[in-house]
A and B are shown apart, each in its own frame.
Chain A
């Protein structure tokens, strides 16, 4: 209905392959970005640090997992492990080598995570499906163990937790939520853009090829192992950076326990709900999974007043999560992203039904 595409024609392949070939989408994106940039002036700092920052961080994590699971079709339950690696690497670098710029240590975190991911991915050549999921599961336990039992990694703190130093980039202190928000926003946007680019180029096509029809992909000349490792690498890089942000920007003091299996599952839920194999979906999913408990909480209090016991709320939350996953997998396996796609199609051909 609001899509008025008449007169939008492409005179070059560049224009035709643009990320937002439809003008209305471009505008929409612009407005969204504008909102993201101005939102700190409208909302309380609490919102920034308790909702928006984690939203961005988890979107990035979901994006990372989506690259591996959604695009390349390799199910992984190990997301949190790679986040942990990213976080600890960044932390160790920034505490042991203060002269290294923070962003560099973030990137280093990503790269280390990527390497780790590729290592974990090696079995993926021989084993498929949830056999692989199991390997990633092992990664979670292994990692958790490493960061609890090998003191060097957390500098022998008694609590075995790492608390991040204050962040300074190019002389600017990132000490207020607003600043941290902007930092995260920029990083996430850039990385999302990069992901989009990769996914619409050769890499993305190769990923989807091995996901959709691996034999055919091989016959076309796609190298299985190489492609899968690249998938693990890129995905883990994103997760690593996400982990670093998680530690530095969001919690600012984490322990290995913050990267346990349930964290992985949360991120998996995000992409299932948001949309497997969709960049947009990663964001939608993250938003949904993060906001759901909050609304649940509000709802519960609205209904039952303050009498409600937080324990029950937590269990209720579990139920709703589980129910949602079941619902989405049955009703809309491609998640909210597909729902949006359908709505969009409807809008484009309105008033016609199809």
Chain B
């Protein structure tokens, strides 16, 4: 075939076992299909597969010209930009390994990663990133070249190892003219066993580990999920999550290549909202916080609406809450309800989705942490097919997905295709799948203790399959305890479940080696405050509000609601909270009760509040307590309080057990 007809010099491969080969395949099969857009200079700059393949080819040649060899590592730092994605591909074409890094991490955070993964070339977005590299330049002897995409402000730099993207491309073109066959030869050398990418774990637990993925891991996982979710080249995706995150690599890169759909890069971080609206993605991923603040912003914006408008809005939201999710799950819904929903769709739902730019969303994922049932149901009731998935970097994301029509806010669904999941005796979730990572780079021992020789991987999460055969993740395995009766006790699970109630801010659950569960509750000052105002309860401050009978009543109802739920679940019914108290103060990072990221520090609390804990397990219903507090001005003082301890009703067989 002639150069002209396919600029990148595409060819068929009987085995499309590497992404570069798939790229060339697309450049031929989907020649004129748009594969990437980037909002730049006010319009969506567009590339078809063949155009992009050509760019990548040139870029690859440029890298080669600069001395980039097989198995060299190419670091990538920056927001989601087309050229950065190309750099990944270019490195892969040369048999090199791309190593995307988090763009917002500091110089000191990236230095470790750069060294561990022997990065020798780096492509960065702009001056800001260049400065980071320069800061740590001396500490990374391996790095040979730095390429920057955006020349803005770079006119002052004259380091020889800094390369402007355009001049790189020029170099690439020259190199390509001189070595016409080079590119294809390099691509041919690739095979499925080759390493495709290093993805670094976020490193919340210990220092980040470089997860090594082979093309087989990548491509097979991508294929399976594409088939499962019926993704096609017609889909549209917005790439807005960090490139270093495994999810982005799978959705915006691997799946896009395999399915052939189009990836859109927003103009910049402030314009994501607007850009999403323009593109109208059909496939969308967002961790719970993103959905969360989308919802809050809707409610805030609706606040100052004209009252009629509000009335209509809330009425139809009510309708949606009742019927929406059920229609989506194809359950039977009365004709009237359907009709009402249809009206609501014209008046509210469709316009709302349009305003948020999610009208065309056919498939949306949420993952990373538990999502509140109300939040989850809100979007489903609008008719957006949002699903939870359970995944890990080591699994190349997919472990479990909620299948269409079986969506429950409290489970993460059933194992993804070709994924086996089992639960250890200790209750830890293990899985084995084609996506299972090859190893941690240069870290055999941690590889060994995460991955068994026969390919099973420890997730470190405790969970179990419920009656419907759906996986329920309850907690990190290390936090899971046992009741004296031997049944499992998952504090985090209880706490999360309670925290989803609007009036509850923080919860600390106890029960390890005890015979039932109890809890400290911190009320949400604002929510409960409003509630109290509506009932015009008088209160002077947090403590007095928390001490209020009515508030106790309110919280007890929430707890009993939860207990009712738990009772339905064989594994969890013992975890029903039997006694609880409302703390006289909010848990506070300054007092060391929370981590800076607002995670409860159990150990500390156990040491600080033994009296209260004992009281919870005694049978007294009031307990005096003095607490040391740090005031704003740094002085410390004692406040004393008498805390009531209340009992919450238990349900199911546990209730019976109570009778005895």
Residues of A bordering B, CB below 8 Å: 1, 3-13, 15-16, 349-354
Contacts and interface: CB of A to CB of B under 8 A. Distances in A.
Given A10-B43, A13-B43, A16-B42, A352 B305 contact: yes
A352 B298 CA distance: 8
Given A7-B279, A8-B278, A9-B279, A353 B304 contact: yes
B277 A6 contact: yes
B280 A11 contact: no
Interface in B259-298: 277-280, 298
A351 B353 CA distance: 10
Contacts of A10: 43-44, 278
Given A8-B278, A354-B304, 6 more contacts: A1-B347, A6-B360, A8-B280, A10-B44, A351-B351, A353-B301
A113 to B, nearest CB: 40
28 contacts: A1-B347, A4-B350, A4-B351, A4-B354, A4-B359, A5-B277, A5-B354, A6-B278, A6-B280, A6-B354, A6-B358, A7-B236, A7-B279, A9-B44, A9-B278, A9-B279, A9-B280, A10-B44, A11-B37, A11-B44, A12-B43, A16-B43, A350-B351, A351-B348, A352-B298, A352-B301, A352-B305, A353-B304
Name A's interface SS: loop
A6 B313 contact: no
B42 A13 contact: yes
B232 interface: no
Contacts of B358: 6
B627 interface: no
B309 interface: yes
Contacts of B351: 1, 4, 350-351
Contacts of A11: 37, 43-46
B264 to A, nearest CB: 8
Contacts of B309: 351, 353
Nearest to A15: B43
Nearest to A7: B280
Interface in B40-59: 42-46
B37 A351 contact: no
Interface residues of B, number: 32
Interface in B6-44: 37, 42-44
Nearest to B282: A7
A351 B357 contact: no
B277 A351 contact: no
B352 interface: yes
Contact of A351 (B45, B278, B302, B304): B302
B306 interface: yes
Contacts of B154: none
Contacts of A6: 277-278, 280, 353-354, 357-360
Contacts of B45: 11
B355 interface: yes
Contacts of B46: 11
B660 to A, nearest CB: 55
B629 to A, nearest CB: 43
Nearest to A9: B278
Contacts of B313: 351
Contacts of A9: 37, 44, 278-280
**B37, B306, B313, B351: residue with the most chain A Cβ atoms closer than 10 Å:** B351
Contacts of B352: 351
A7 to B, nearest CB: 3
Interface in B232-269: 236
Contacts of A4: 350-351, 354, 359
Nearest to B317: A351
Given A6-B360, A10-B43, A11-B46, A353 B306 contact: yes
B93 to A, nearest CB: 27
A6 B275 CA distance: 10
Contact of A352 (B37, B42, B355): B355
Nearest to B361: A6
A3 B359 CA distance: 12
A1 B352 CA distance: 9
A349 B353 CA distance: 11
A9 B358 CA distance: 14
Nearest to A1: B351
B235 to A, nearest CB: 12
A6 B353 CA distance: 9
B305 A353 contact: yes
B356 to A, nearest CB: 8
Contacts of B277: 5-6
A202 B301 CA distance: 38
A12 B236 CA distance: 19
A13 B45 CA distance: 10
Nearest to A350: B351
Interface in B130-164: none
A47 B313 CA distance: 43
Interface string B108-132: 0000000000000000000000000
**A8, A350, A351: residue with the most chain B Cβ atoms closer than 10 Å:** A351
A7 B359 contact: yes
Interface in B329-357: 347-348, 350-355, 357
A11 B351 CA distance: 24
B205 to A, nearest CB: 39
Contact of A349 (B236, B306, B355, B357): B355
A10 B352 CA distance: 22
A127 to B, nearest CB: 41
Contacts of B360: 6-7
Contacts of A353: 301-302, 304-306, 309
Contacts of A352: 298, 301-302, 305, 355
Contacts of B359: 4, 6-7
Contacts of B37: 9, 11
Contacts of A350: 351, 355
Nearest to B360: A7
A326 B350 CA distance: 41
A118 B244 CA distance: 65
Interface string B178-194: 00000000000000000
A8 B274 CA distance: 11
Contacts of B278: 5-10
Interface in B413-448: none
A354 B354 CA distance: 14
Contacts of B306: 353
A339 B576 CA distance: 60
A4 B277 CA distance: 10
A16 B43 CA distance: 8
A347 to B, nearest CB: 9
> Which 6 A-B residue pairs are closest in the complex by CB-CB distance?
A7-B280, A6-B280, A9-B278, A353-B305, A6-B359, A352-B301
A351 B305 contact: yes
Nearest to A3: B354
A11 B348 CA distance: 30
Contacts of B279: 7, 9
Contacts of A3: 354
Nearest to B46: A11
Interface in B303-330: 304-306, 309, 312-313
Contacts of B305: 351-353
B233 to A, nearest CB: 16
Nearest to A16: B43
Contacts of A16: 42-43
A348 to B, nearest CB: 8
Contacts of A351: 302, 305, 309, 312-313, 347-348, 351-352, 355
B596 to A, nearest CB: 35
Contacts of B353: 6
Nearest to B349: A351
**A3, A9, A10: residue with the most chain B Cβ atoms closer than 10 Å:** A9
A10 B351 CA distance: 21
**B298, B301, B306: residue with the most chain A Cβ atoms closer than 10 Å:** B301
